[in-house]
Amino acid sequence: MSMFNVMTIAGTALSAQSVRLNTTASNMANADSVVDSDGQPYRAKQVVFAATPVAGPGAQGVRVTEIVESAAPLRLAYDPANPAADDQGYVAMPNVDVVEEMVNMISASRSYQNNTEIMNTAKTLLQRTLAIGQQ
Amino acid sequence: MKALLDDSLKFYQTALNLQAQRQEMLASNIANADTPNYKARDIDFKGALQGVLGRTDPGSQRAPLALAQTARGHLGNPDVLPFAAHIGFRRELQSSVDGNTVNMDVERAAFAENSIHYEASVTFINGLLQGMQRAIAGQ
């Protein structure tokens, strides 16, 4: 039943977009985390999306294949009093670009909203289909 | 009369199925709006409907798509859509760096349009059944 597949497809997109929102939230929260769990400065994380067949050849959902760390150089801040400062007094700060993360967040939330709309439409159409032949 | 009801219902059923498949494809496009290198796809509805119904489209040179089933054991291949020849990639309006060709406005418009067509088909089926019921009840 294709209309149920619409729900599945929108569902995969919802979970992928929420992973993207999660990474954005994590990046924003750690925009100033000098030390990560491995002792290095925090690095911005990005999700990688890939189309994935859901049911049959016509239905392509989306899934997160991997979460990669941004290759952008770390931000150097001059702060000699910081215990993490190097010999010249510079502290390596996370490579999180807050503006980019905000844009990413808005884009992810719009995509999420779009897919909830798709789900609602599919639900309405399914209900209409179930009511065929009823007065 | 029976044949008439059968024929009309079959037509709407085929149309409804095809519209559901198109809805699925458009939902895939919208779900993959942020997937790199994803290419948006759509169905040529007119051609696909005529192909599935086994009629030839006077405008196209293609033969009807339905395979001739000459023995009872012949089955359709579930991995190949019956209207596969009528699926195409959408022409790009604005190119993006990641190779994605989904244009959200176009996809949403097509999705809304297809929903209305789907509802119209459901309404037609309902009308047909109601008409038959009225004829049976003799009102």
pLDDT of residue A39 exceeding 90? no
| DSSP for residue B86 | G
**A61 to B31: CB separation less than 8 angstroms, yes or no:** yes
At A81-90, the pLDDT tens digits run 988 888 999 9
Supply the ipTM of this predicted assembly.
0.85
B40 contacts B29 by C-beta, under 8 angstroms: yes
- Residues from chain B that touch A5, judged by Cβ atoms under 8 A, are 24, 27
Spatial CA neighbour of A104 closest among A53, A75, A70: A70
Can you tell me the distance from the alpha carbon of A47 to that of A36, in angstroms, rounded to the nearest whole number? 19
pLDDT of residue A1 exceeding 70? no
pLDDT at B7: 80
- Residues from chain B that touch A53, judged by Cβ atoms under 8 A, are none
A26 contacts A36 by C-beta, under 8 angstroms: no
B16 contacts B121 by C-beta, under 8 angstroms: yes
**B27 to A9: CB separation less than 8 angstroms, yes or no:** yes
Point out the residues of chain B with pLDDT beneath 70.
1-2, 55-69, 72, 74-81, 139
Tell me which of B13, B14, B23, B122 to substitute to probe the interface with A (most A C-beta atoms closer than 10 Å): B23
- Residues from chain A that touch B16, judged by Cβ atoms under 8 A, are 129
